[in-house]
Structure 1
Amino acid sequence: MHTDSPDNGYEKDENGGYKQINNNGGDSMDYLYENGEVVETRVPFQTGGEVSYNRTYGVLANTGTGGTLYDPSWDMFQIYAGFGEIKAGLTLAKMGLTTIPKTSIKNIRAMNVGDASKVANKATVYFTKKLQSNGIKKYSLTRYPWKNRGWYTVSGVLSKNLATFLGRNASLIGGGIMIDGIHRVYKRFTF
């Protein structure tokens, strides 16, 4: 028998496993004996997991957690958020593709000026009202990035203010939001 340090000695049993032959204390080294001689040594390690098992050669005992550690709350939130994005993206894309008569627009002076068109983009009207209700009166885009030109929109027409830019690009923005929502839902169901 080995006497240099406290050990836990094991021998192979008839089932191919290990049986403990001594317990001199200490979990720093395990010794495998054959005919009273040390044939192998192992530093025992702790394995994680949810299942309990006993101490054996080279493996420390595990009491297990007694149940699952998986909490599905985040996955459920991801699914709900994904469906919410799909709905919001679809609504925004639909608004971006819908026109309404300018005569039905109240309280937005800029929409009633000029005879260029008798209809307005529903998303542009929506964003104009939202920006004005949040106190954003001046939302010019002509300063950046192209001086006094404006920004290009999906329709190819330059936009000189934020509401027009967002409204004209609403179908593209809504489509992107829908794709992100579909991706979130797909990831949760295929994980």
Structure 2
Amino acid sequence: MEFIPSNIVEEMRGSHQLGIFLRVDTDPALHLWFGINDIPANFDSIDPTGTVYLGGGRLIGVPTLEILVNGTADSVEFTLSGLDPTTSAKMLDSLPPVRGAAVQMGLTTLDRYFQPMSSIIPIWTGTASHTGEVSPPVEEGDSPSITLSLAVVTGEATRSRGARSVWSSPHQKAISPTDKFCDGVSRLARGVQPVWPNF
């Protein structure tokens, strides 16, 4: 079975429309895609029955997505800009708790009717940390606007718990009590060269 269907690979080789989708596993779940209209779609292996993804507007930019590597992870922010204060307040009041919710980002190509050509292909998974609200300065004659953001991290680097920079046996056993992968780390820190088994 192919991770990326052959028709999507072929479509990506030429001029194509790319659909980028975001799913936040809150209760109820938030389904958003970076486009204008609402469209039905499903995340491959995550929500196979499918649902309607709400159009989040024109995509200005996607943050650099990183994964947990060597105990270091980064936080990225997804933002909605240009909301009026009343709409922003309604959104914040109706927002379910996001802290700790799984966040999946995926993509697929769109056909000439702007419909997905396959199930959404998951490319990145993170954990929702916190929401933010910013009101940029307003010049004379302009209407006030609000920018809402959702901070998403990989690993365990939430706002109250920094990313791990050192791996040790107690740290690893806090995650997985039976894992002995880091048992020799303290010996390495003292400069002891472990004897590796010969197979």
TM-score by length of 2: 0.19
Higher share in helix: 1
For the pair shown, the structure with the greater C-alpha radius of gyration is: 1
Higher share in strand: 2
Tell me: higher relative CO, structure 1 or 2? Use CA pairs within 8 A at least 6 residues apart. 2
